[in-house]
A and B are shown apart, each in its own frame.
Chain A
Amino acid sequence: MRLVKVLSRTLAVALVSVACSFAAETPAQDSVAKSPAKDSVPQSPSDIAFSHLYVSIEGGEIYPWGDLMDVVENSVYVGLGVRYTYWENFDGIVHFDYTYFKNRMKVVAYPGVHQAMGRLGLDWHGRWIRPVMIGGGFICNWSRADGGEERNFDKPGGTLVDNETEFGYFIRLNVPFLKYERLRVGFDLLWEELWTLPKRSNMLSAGFYAEWRLW
C-alpha cells in the first residue's frame, strides 16, 4: 500500500506539472532556441557549451524501492544544482543533494544514515517534448551511519559505520512549469540504481526546484 500511495502521489504531481509546463506561455528551454544566431548560421557545439548557466535549489522526497523499503524510511532531501547548455538539444547537469535516512530495522545499532549524492549527466529537450526534459547520467552516493562503532563492522548495518561510497546511474524527468524572467520553477522526478551487492539498490525521488539563470 505504501508503494501505491507513493506512486499515485508522484504520478499526480508529475501529470499536473507536465500540463502546467506545456500551458506555460514561454517555453522553459528558450536559451538556445531564442539565440539570434540560430536562425542564420547554426552554432557550433563549442559556442553553445556554457552559453547559458543556471543554478538551482531543490527539495523533495526520496522513496526507497523494493527490499530497501524495509530498511529505511522515506526521507526529505535538499540540494543544489547547476545546469549548462551543452549541445543544441542537450543541457549538462551537476547536482549535489543531501538526505538523512531514518532506520526501520531494530537490529541496526544507529538511528539513521547521512547520505550525500552527486549526479552528473545530460538533459535532452528535443523540439517535440520541449519544454519537458528527459535526462540521465551517473550518480555517486556517499553514506555514513549516524553513530555506531567500527568494531561492529560485521553486525547488521556495520559497514556504514565507516564511510561507504557507491556509484550507479539515474534517469529523470524534468518538468519546468513556471517561468518569470531569469527564474524558473519545476518538478523533478528521478529514478536511480546504485551498483550495490548482493542486489542493486533502487530509489525514486520527486521534488521541486527553483532555478536562476546566471547568464
Chain B
Amino acid sequence: MSTMSLHKIFAFVCLAALPAFALIEPETEGMEAVSRDDGTFLVGSPTYAFDRKNGAGGIHSESELWAPEKLRMRLLFNRLSETPSWTPHEASIWLRTGNELGDMIYQDPLYEKDDRPSNRTPILEGGFRSPAFMGLWATARLFQVDHYSDETMRTRNRYVDDSFAWFGENWPMFSTAYGGLGYTGHGLNASVLAGEEYVWVFGESSRWIPIHYSPRVEARADFWDLSLTLAYENAEFQNRKKSESGTRTEWNGSAYYRCGKLCKDGMLWFGAGVQFRTVEDDGKLYTGLEDDVVVWPFAQLRLTPLKDLSLDATFGVNNRDWLLLDSIEYKIAALPRLGLVVGEKNVAGTRLNPIADTEEYFDGDTISLAADGSMQMHELYVRAEDSLSVFRLGARVAGWIEHGAETFDTTGFVNDRNLVYRHGDVARIDEWIQGLSGEVWLGIDYGEMFSFTALGGYEHIWGPSREFEVSPVEYYAAFEGDWLLNGTFRIAHSLRYRSDARWNLRSSDPKVIKGDWYWDASFEQRFPKYGIYLSGTLLHVLSDDVVQTPNGNYDRLRFVCTVRKTF
C-alpha cells in the first residue's frame, strides 16, 4: 500500500467499479457512461451524465456521491467527474481526433436549408509526457470534446463573449489546455500543472453555466503513505446577455493518509484525510458556498476479524454535514469454488456530496442545494461466480431500501429558447423506497485471445417514482466480444440494449428516454515492442439520435481515432 500512488488506487477503484466485461474506450477519461448500459447511463454533455449501475442501491447516480477515491476528481457544480481530467498520462505522445458522423461535405449544395441535417461536431486532442530524466518529466495536453454541443449551442453562445474554447466555434462543453513538470523517484510521485480551461457545468436549475478557469493550477504529491493535492482556480463567470460578470478565486485540495506497511498483515486497516475548499467571490456569480469555506475531515476503517469476513467504513463530518459509507462482506468458505459472497452496504448522511456549493442563484431565486434532515440507504446482496473450463457463469441478487432520498422540489419552470429551466430547492422524499435487482452473466475466456460476455439485468423499484429525478431503466442486456489476434490486433465489440428511463423533475411533463440498442466497435493495431498503438472506434452505431438528458445535446453515432506512442 505504501508505494501505491493515489492514481493507482483510483485506477483500481474505477476498474473494480466497471462491469464484468471490457469497455470500449470513449472520447475521453470520465465519459465511460457513453459505453455502458448495465444500468441507467444518460449523457447530455461530456460534463454532465446520469450514471447509475443497475442494483447500485438508492436512486442517486454515482457521480453525485462523494467518496475518498474521488478526491482528485473534478467538482463540476455538485457532481464529481473525471472529465476534464488533470491526471497526467503515462510517458507517451498521443493524438486523437473524431467526429459525430454526418457532416454534409459535398452533399451540402444538393439540399435545401430545410432538408439539411444539423451540424456535426468533432473532438481534438494532443499531448505528451516526456520520459523521466533524473526522475524529472514534463507534460502538456490540449483537449476538447465538441461532441454533444450542437443542440444547445445557439442558446448557450448568447451568454459568453467569444467562442469560449481553444479552437473552433462549436462552443464545446469543455476545452482544456495545461502543461507542467513532474518528478518520479525515491518513493515520491509529484507534479505541478498549470493551464486554462473553458467548461460548461449543469446547474440544479438546468442551466448551463460557463466557467473560464484562467489560470487553473494543480499540484499533486504521493509519498510514503500520504497523498496531497492542492489546486488554485481563478474562475471567471459571465452572462453576456445580462452584461453580468464575476470572479471566484478558489483554493481546494486534500491530504489523505492510508495505513501502509504497518497494517499490511494485520486485521485492522485505516486511513484518514481532509478535503477542503475556500472561495472568494467577487461580482455576479451563480453559485454560492456557505461561509465561503468547507473543510471535510474523514476516516476509513477496514476490519477483517476472520479471513473471509471484512467490514469497511468511511465516515466524514463537519459543522454542516455528515456522511457514512459502510459495508460488510462475507465469503462463504464452505463453497469455495462457487465464489459465493454475501454482503450488506449502507449509505447515510445529510448530503451525498458535502464538499459541493450550498446554493445556486437563478433568476432572482436562491436554490438551496442542501436539504434538511438526512438520507439512509441499506442494501443486501448475494453474488456468486463459477467457472468451468473456459466458461464463466455468475449472478448477483440485491435488495435495497432508502429513506430521505434527495430529490428536487420544483416550484416553476422558465423557458429559454429550446431549453427549460426550473425554480425550487433540493428536497427529500420522506418515504421508504424499495428496490430489487438481479443480474446474470455468462462468459467465455480463451487466454488473452478471445473473451465474450453476455450479461442481463433487471431491477424493479417501488416508491413515489414521479418524485425521482430519474426513474432508472428496468432491464438491460449486453453482449461483449474481445478478440486479440496475434497479440497485435484487437477487435472489440459491444452490443447492448437498455429499457426506458424517465426524467421526472426538469420539465412540466416527464421526459422519457426510450429504450434502444447500442453497438460500439473498436479496432486497434498494437506494436508493443515499439510502444505504438493505432485505434479507430465507432460509438453508438445502431441507436437513434436522441437527447438523453433535459437541456442536453444529441447523442450521435461517432468515430474516434487515436495514435499513441509510449516511451
Contacts and interface: CB of A to CB of B under 8 A. Distances in A.
Interface of A: 45-46, 49-50, 64, 67-68, 70-72, 86-87, 92, 101, 105, 107-108, 113, 120, 122, 138, 140-141, 143, 154, 156-160, 162-167, 194-199, 201
Contacts of B486: 45, 87
11 contacts: A158-B108, A159-B108, A159-B116, A159-B119, A167-B561, A196-B102, A196-B104, A197-B101, A197-B102, A197-B104, A198-B107
A71 B101 CA distance: 21
B169 interface: yes
A197 B488 contact: no
B110 A67 contact: yes
A141 B105 contact: yes
Contacts of A195: 101-102, 557, 559
A120 B536 contact: yes
A198 B111 contact: yes
A42 to B, nearest CB: 11
A175 to B, nearest CB: 24
B106 A107 contact: no
A50 B169 CA distance: 40
Interface residues of B, number: 38
B566 to A, nearest CB: 15
Contacts of A45: 486-488
Contacts of A49: 488, 527, 529-530
B109 A71 contact: yes
Contacts of B265: none
What's the dominant secondary structure at chain A's contact region?
mixed
Nearest to A163: B168
Given A50-B530, A138-B561, A154-B113, A166 B101 contact: yes
A169 to B, nearest CB: 9
A165 B530 contact: no
B97 A101 contact: no
A72 B271 CA distance: 67
Contacts of A113: 106
B109 A107 contact: yes
Contact of A196 (B105, B109, B489, B561): B105
Nearest to A101: B106
A72 B105 CA distance: 11
B247 interface: no
Given A140-B561, A166-B101, A197 B109 contact: no
Nearest to B101: A195
Contacts of A140: 97, 561
Given A64-B106, A154-B113, 13 more contacts: A45-B486, A46-B487, A49-B530, A86-B525, A92-B525, A107-B109, A108-B109, A120-B536, A158-B108, A159-B104, A160-B105, A162-B169, A201-B106
Contact of B109 (A105, A122, A154): A105
B185 interface: no
A159 B489 CA distance: 37
A71 B117 CA distance: 18
Interface in B116-130: 116-117, 119-120, 122
Contacts of A160: 105, 108
A64 to B, nearest CB: 7
Contacts of A162: 168-169
A156 B109 contact: yes
A201 to B, nearest CB: 6
Nearest to A194: B105
B534 interface: yes
B300 interface: no
